[in-house]
Amino acid sequence: MRVHLAKLAGGTLCLALLWIRPASAAELASEPSLGEVVASRCAACHAAGSSDARILDGRPKADLAAALRGFRERPEPRSVMGSRTRLMTDAEIDAVAAYFAGRTAVERGRE
C-beta separation of 99 from 36 below 8 A: yes
Q: What is the pLDDT of residues 23-32, one digit of tens each?
A: 555 555 668 8
- Which residues form the domain of 42? 33-106
Q: What is the pLDDT of residues 28-76, one digit of tens each?
A: 566 889 999 999 999 888 877 766 678 888 999 999 999 999 999 998 8
89 in any annotated domain: yes
Report the pLDDT averaged over residues 81-88.
Answer: 91
CA–CA separation, 33 and 111 (whole Å): 28
| Residue 45 pLDDT | 86
26 in any annotated domain: no
By the 10 Å C-beta count (0-12 exposed, 13-18 middle, 19+ buried), 1 is classed as exposed
11 in any annotated domain: no
Q: How many domains does the chain have?
A: 1
Residue 74 belongs to domain with CATH number: 1.10.760.10
84 in any annotated domain: yes
3 in any annotated domain: no
What is the pLDDT confidence band of residue 12, given thresholds at 50, 70 and 90? low
Tell me the whole-structure pTM to 2 decimals. 0.65
